[in-house]
Amino acid sequence: MDRRQRLFVHRLGIDHGRMKFWRAIAVATLLAAAPALLAGEIAPEARRSGYAFMGPDTRAMQDDDTANPGMLFVLDGEALWTKKTGSAEKACADCHGDARGSMKGVAARYPAFEKAVGRPITLDQRINLCRANHQQATPLPYESRDLLALSAFVAHQSRGVAITAGDDPQLKQFVEQGRDLFMQREGQLNLACTNCHDDNFDRHLAGAPITQAQPTGYPLYRLEWQTLGSLERRLRSCMSGVRAQAYDYGAPELVALELYLMSRARGLPMETPAVRP
Protein backbone atom coordinates (compact mmCIF):
# COMPACT_ATOMS: atom_id res chain seq x y z
CA MET A 1 0.00 0.00 0.00
CA ASP A 2 1.55 3.34 -1.08
CA ARG A 3 1.41 6.64 0.82
CA ARG A 4 -1.70 7.90 -0.97
CA GLN A 5 -3.56 4.66 -0.27
CA ARG A 6 -2.58 4.78 3.41
CA LEU A 7 -3.74 8.39 3.60
CA PHE A 8 -7.05 7.45 2.00
CA VAL A 9 -7.61 4.61 4.47
CA HIS A 10 -6.67 6.90 7.35
CA ARG A 11 -9.09 9.59 6.16
CA LEU A 12 -11.78 6.96 5.63
CA GLY A 13 -11.31 5.82 9.22
CA ILE A 14 -11.67 9.38 10.47
CA ASP A 15 -14.76 9.95 8.33
CA HIS A 16 -16.29 6.72 9.60
CA GLY A 17 -15.65 7.82 13.18
CA ARG A 18 -17.25 11.18 12.48
CA MET A 19 -20.24 9.48 10.92
CA LYS A 20 -20.70 7.35 14.05
CA PHE A 21 -20.39 10.46 16.23
CA TRP A 22 -22.95 12.46 14.28
CA ARG A 23 -25.27 9.48 14.06
CA ALA A 24 -25.19 9.25 17.85
CA ILE A 25 -25.95 12.97 18.09
CA ALA A 26 -28.85 12.59 15.66
CA VAL A 27 -30.27 9.70 17.65
CA ALA A 28 -29.91 11.68 20.87
CA THR A 29 -31.68 14.65 19.31
CA LEU A 30 -34.50 12.44 18.04
CA LEU A 31 -35.02 10.77 21.40
CA ALA A 32 -34.67 13.97 23.38
CA ALA A 33 -37.31 15.55 21.17
CA ALA A 34 -39.74 12.69 21.81
CA PRO A 35 -43.08 13.78 23.30
CA ALA A 36 -42.00 13.43 26.91
CA LEU A 37 -45.21 15.00 28.17
CA LEU A 38 -47.13 12.14 26.60
CA ALA A 39 -44.83 9.52 28.06
CA GLY A 40 -45.77 7.51 31.08
CA GLU A 41 -45.25 4.16 32.63
CA ILE A 42 -46.55 1.40 30.43
CA ALA A 43 -49.90 0.06 31.59
CA PRO A 44 -49.69 -3.47 33.06
CA GLU A 45 -51.88 -4.93 30.33
CA ALA A 46 -49.62 -3.44 27.64
CA ARG A 47 -46.34 -4.74 29.04
CA ARG A 48 -44.42 -7.16 26.83
CA SER A 49 -41.27 -9.19 27.26
CA GLY A 50 -38.31 -8.42 25.05
CA TYR A 51 -39.07 -11.77 23.42
CA ALA A 52 -42.06 -10.14 21.69
CA PHE A 53 -39.71 -7.71 19.91
CA MET A 54 -37.30 -10.36 18.61
CA GLY A 55 -37.12 -11.75 15.10
CA PRO A 56 -38.04 -15.37 14.33
CA ASP A 57 -34.42 -16.59 14.34
CA THR A 58 -33.71 -15.21 17.81
CA ARG A 59 -36.99 -16.56 19.17
CA ALA A 60 -36.25 -19.97 17.71
CA MET A 61 -32.81 -19.97 19.36
CA GLN A 62 -34.33 -19.17 22.75
CA ASP A 63 -37.15 -21.68 22.41
CA ASP A 64 -34.92 -24.64 21.59
CA ASP A 65 -32.85 -25.67 24.62
CA THR A 66 -30.46 -27.54 22.34
CA ALA A 67 -29.78 -24.34 20.35
CA ASN A 68 -29.93 -21.83 23.20
CA PRO A 69 -26.28 -21.05 24.11
CA GLY A 70 -27.38 -19.86 27.55
CA MET A 71 -28.22 -23.45 28.45
CA LEU A 72 -24.49 -24.26 28.56
CA PHE A 73 -24.27 -21.94 31.57
CA VAL A 74 -27.33 -23.58 33.13
CA LEU A 75 -25.63 -26.97 32.84
CA ASP A 76 -22.46 -25.55 34.43
CA GLY A 77 -24.59 -24.14 37.23
CA GLU A 78 -26.20 -27.51 37.80
CA ALA A 79 -22.75 -29.04 38.31
CA LEU A 80 -21.74 -26.24 40.69
CA TRP A 81 -24.97 -26.71 42.66
CA THR A 82 -23.81 -30.14 43.84
CA LYS A 83 -20.10 -29.31 44.17
CA LYS A 84 -18.77 -28.99 47.71
CA THR A 85 -16.70 -25.86 48.21
CA GLY A 86 -15.20 -23.60 50.83
CA SER A 87 -13.72 -24.50 54.17
CA ALA A 88 -17.15 -25.77 55.27
CA GLU A 89 -17.04 -28.33 52.44
CA LYS A 90 -20.69 -27.73 51.63
CA ALA A 91 -22.61 -27.68 48.37
CA CYS A 92 -25.70 -25.61 47.64
CA ALA A 93 -27.61 -28.88 47.45
CA ASP A 94 -26.63 -29.77 51.03
CA CYS A 95 -28.87 -26.96 52.29
CA HIS A 96 -31.41 -26.58 49.49
CA GLY A 97 -31.72 -30.07 48.08
CA ASP A 98 -33.18 -30.51 44.61
CA ALA A 99 -33.24 -27.07 42.98
CA ARG A 100 -36.19 -28.04 40.80
CA GLY A 101 -38.35 -27.79 43.89
CA SER A 102 -36.51 -25.56 46.35
CA MET A 103 -35.58 -22.84 43.84
CA LYS A 104 -38.82 -22.72 41.87
CA GLY A 105 -40.13 -19.15 42.02
CA VAL A 106 -37.13 -17.79 43.92
CA ALA A 107 -35.59 -15.71 41.12
CA ALA A 108 -39.02 -14.28 40.30
CA ARG A 109 -39.01 -12.32 43.58
CA TYR A 110 -35.46 -10.87 43.40
CA PRO A 111 -34.10 -8.34 44.21
CA ALA A 112 -35.41 -9.10 47.71
CA PHE A 113 -35.06 -7.35 51.06
CA GLU A 114 -32.16 -8.64 53.15
CA LYS A 115 -32.46 -7.88 56.87
CA ALA A 116 -28.73 -8.30 57.49
CA VAL A 117 -27.91 -5.28 55.33
CA GLY A 118 -31.19 -3.37 55.60
CA ARG A 119 -31.76 -3.08 51.86
CA PRO A 120 -32.54 -5.20 48.79
CA ILE A 121 -29.99 -7.52 47.26
CA THR A 122 -29.86 -9.22 43.87
CA LEU A 123 -29.83 -12.95 43.24
CA ASP A 124 -26.09 -12.75 42.52
CA GLN A 125 -25.53 -11.10 45.89
CA ARG A 126 -27.69 -13.72 47.60
CA ILE A 127 -25.56 -16.48 46.10
CA ASN A 128 -22.39 -14.80 47.35
CA LEU A 129 -23.85 -14.29 50.83
CA CYS A 130 -24.61 -18.00 50.98
CA ARG A 131 -21.07 -18.79 49.86
CA ALA A 132 -19.54 -16.52 52.52
CA ASN A 133 -21.86 -17.39 55.42
CA HIS A 134 -22.66 -21.05 54.88
CA GLN A 135 -19.91 -22.47 52.69
CA GLN A 136 -17.10 -20.33 54.09
CA ALA A 137 -16.05 -19.73 50.49
CA THR A 138 -14.75 -16.67 48.68
CA PRO A 139 -17.50 -14.66 46.95
CA LEU A 140 -17.51 -15.05 43.18
CA PRO A 141 -16.61 -11.95 41.10
CA TYR A 142 -19.41 -10.16 39.28
CA GLU A 143 -19.85 -11.45 35.71
CA SER A 144 -17.60 -14.44 36.38
CA ARG A 145 -18.67 -17.60 34.60
CA ASP A 146 -19.34 -19.47 37.86
CA LEU A 147 -21.56 -16.73 39.30
CA LEU A 148 -23.47 -16.35 36.03
CA ALA A 149 -23.83 -20.14 35.81
CA LEU A 150 -25.22 -20.49 39.33
CA SER A 151 -27.53 -17.53 38.84
CA ALA A 152 -28.75 -18.90 35.50
CA PHE A 153 -29.32 -22.37 36.98
CA VAL A 154 -31.34 -20.98 39.90
CA ALA A 155 -33.33 -18.59 37.69
CA HIS A 156 -33.97 -21.35 35.15
CA GLN A 157 -35.98 -23.21 37.80
CA SER A 158 -38.48 -20.33 37.67
CA ARG A 159 -38.93 -20.38 33.91
CA GLY A 160 -42.65 -19.82 33.27
CA VAL A 161 -43.27 -18.50 36.79
CA ALA A 162 -44.81 -15.02 37.03
CA ILE A 163 -42.51 -12.28 38.37
CA THR A 164 -43.50 -11.08 41.86
CA ALA A 165 -40.57 -8.79 42.75
CA GLY A 166 -41.36 -5.65 44.71
CA ASP A 167 -44.35 -7.00 46.63
CA ASP A 168 -42.62 -6.71 50.02
CA PRO A 169 -43.67 -3.44 51.77
CA GLN A 170 -40.08 -3.05 52.99
CA LEU A 171 -39.05 -2.51 49.39
CA LYS A 172 -41.35 0.43 48.66
CA GLN A 173 -38.75 3.19 49.10
CA PHE A 174 -36.21 1.27 47.02
CA VAL A 175 -38.70 0.70 44.19
CA GLU A 176 -39.36 4.46 44.21
CA GLN A 177 -35.62 5.13 44.14
CA GLY A 178 -35.26 2.85 41.13
CA ARG A 179 -38.17 4.55 39.38
CA ASP A 180 -36.57 7.95 39.94
CA LEU A 181 -33.35 6.67 38.40
CA PHE A 182 -35.27 5.25 35.44
CA MET A 183 -36.87 8.66 34.81
CA GLN A 184 -33.73 10.72 35.42
CA ARG A 185 -31.84 12.14 32.45
CA GLU A 186 -28.09 11.64 32.60
CA GLY A 187 -24.88 11.68 30.63
CA GLN A 188 -23.66 13.89 27.81
CA LEU A 189 -26.62 12.78 25.68
CA ASN A 190 -29.02 13.87 28.46
CA LEU A 191 -31.24 10.82 28.15
CA ALA A 192 -33.22 8.77 30.63
CA CYS A 193 -34.14 5.09 30.43
CA THR A 194 -37.76 6.13 29.92
CA ASN A 195 -36.92 8.06 26.73
CA CYS A 196 -36.08 4.80 24.97
CA HIS A 197 -38.12 2.17 26.76
CA ASP A 198 -41.37 4.04 27.46
CA ASP A 199 -41.41 6.64 24.68
CA ASN A 200 -39.85 4.76 21.76
CA PHE A 201 -40.31 1.02 22.16
CA ASP A 202 -41.22 -0.79 18.94
CA ARG A 203 -38.71 1.39 17.08
CA HIS A 204 -35.10 0.54 16.20
CA LEU A 205 -31.78 1.99 17.27
CA ALA A 206 -28.74 1.14 15.11
CA GLY A 207 -30.73 -1.76 13.67
CA ALA A 208 -31.62 -3.28 17.04
CA PRO A 209 -35.20 -3.29 18.34
CA ILE A 210 -36.00 -0.98 21.25
CA THR A 211 -37.90 -3.02 23.83
CA GLN A 212 -39.81 -2.07 26.97
CA ALA A 213 -36.86 -3.16 29.15
CA GLN A 214 -38.82 -5.88 30.90
CA PRO A 215 -36.06 -8.00 32.52
CA THR A 216 -37.76 -11.38 32.20
CA GLY A 217 -34.82 -13.49 31.07
CA TYR A 218 -31.70 -12.53 33.02
CA PRO A 219 -29.02 -13.63 33.11
CA LEU A 220 -29.43 -13.85 29.34
CA TYR A 221 -27.29 -14.66 26.35
CA ARG A 222 -26.65 -11.58 24.22
CA LEU A 223 -25.39 -12.24 20.71
CA GLU A 224 -23.46 -8.96 20.79
CA TRP A 225 -21.56 -10.18 23.86
CA GLN A 226 -21.21 -13.78 22.68
CA THR A 227 -21.76 -14.82 26.28
CA LEU A 228 -24.22 -14.73 29.15
CA GLY A 229 -24.54 -11.47 31.07
CA SER A 230 -26.40 -10.02 34.04
CA LEU A 231 -28.96 -7.23 34.09
CA GLU A 232 -26.35 -5.06 35.81
CA ARG A 233 -24.04 -5.47 32.82
CA ARG A 234 -26.85 -4.36 30.51
CA LEU A 235 -27.67 -1.34 32.67
CA ARG A 236 -24.01 -0.30 32.81
CA SER A 237 -23.81 -0.65 29.03
CA CYS A 238 -26.80 1.67 28.59
CA MET A 239 -25.24 4.21 30.94
CA SER A 240 -22.03 4.16 28.96
CA GLY A 241 -24.10 4.50 25.78
CA VAL A 242 -25.53 7.84 26.90
CA ARG A 243 -22.03 8.94 27.97
CA ALA A 244 -22.78 8.72 31.70
CA GLN A 245 -20.59 7.36 34.48
CA ALA A 246 -21.81 3.81 35.14
CA TYR A 247 -22.35 2.66 38.71
CA ASP A 248 -20.10 -0.08 40.03
CA TYR A 249 -21.40 -3.63 40.04
CA GLY A 250 -23.44 -4.21 43.17
CA ALA A 251 -23.96 -0.49 43.83
CA PRO A 252 -27.23 0.26 45.70
CA GLU A 253 -28.35 2.42 42.79
CA LEU A 254 -28.03 -0.45 40.32
CA VAL A 255 -29.88 -2.78 42.70
CA ALA A 256 -32.69 -0.22 43.10
CA LEU A 257 -32.95 0.20 39.34
CA GLU A 258 -33.03 -3.58 38.86
CA LEU A 259 -35.73 -3.83 41.54
CA TYR A 260 -37.88 -1.21 39.83
CA LEU A 261 -37.53 -2.93 36.47
CA MET A 262 -38.46 -6.30 37.95
CA SER A 263 -41.40 -4.78 39.83
CA ARG A 264 -42.79 -3.20 36.67
CA ALA A 265 -42.48 -6.57 34.93
CA ARG A 266 -44.63 -8.13 37.65
CA GLY A 267 -46.92 -10.78 36.21
CA LEU A 268 -44.77 -11.53 33.17
CA PRO A 269 -43.25 -15.04 33.09
CA MET A 270 -39.57 -15.70 33.69
CA GLU A 271 -37.64 -16.87 30.61
CA THR A 272 -34.08 -17.48 31.81
CA PRO A 273 -31.91 -17.93 29.88
CA ALA A 274 -33.34 -15.56 27.28
CA VAL A 275 -31.54 -14.77 24.01
CA ARG A 276 -31.23 -11.22 22.70
CA PRO A 277 -29.34 -9.53 19.81
Active site residue 238: yes
Nearest C-alpha neighbor of 192 from the set 14, 32, 63, 50: 32
Q: What is the dihedral sign for C-alpha 205, 64, 71, 214? A: positive
List of E strands, the chain: 112-114, 119-121, 204-205, 208-209, 220-222, 227-229, 275-276
In sequence order, the 6+-apart residues with CB closer than 8 A to the CB of 184 are 192
Binding residues: 92, 95-96, 130, 193, 196-197, 234, 238
Q: How far apart are CA 189 and CA 239, in angstroms?
A: 10
H/E stretch holding 61 reads helix 56-63
Q: How far apart are CA 148 and CA 174, in angstroms?
A: 24
Q: How far apart are CA 249 and CA 264, in angstroms?
A: 22
Burial class (CB in 10 A: 0-12, 13-18, 19+), 62: buried
From the list 238, 249, 252, 269, the catalytic residue is: 238
Binding residues for heme c: 92, 95-96, 130, 193, 196-197, 238
Q: How far apart are CA 16 and CA 231, in angstroms?
A: 31
Q: How far apart are CA 69 and CA 61, in angstroms?
A: 8
Cβ atoms of 111 and 258 closer than 8 Å: yes
Residues marked active site are found at: 238
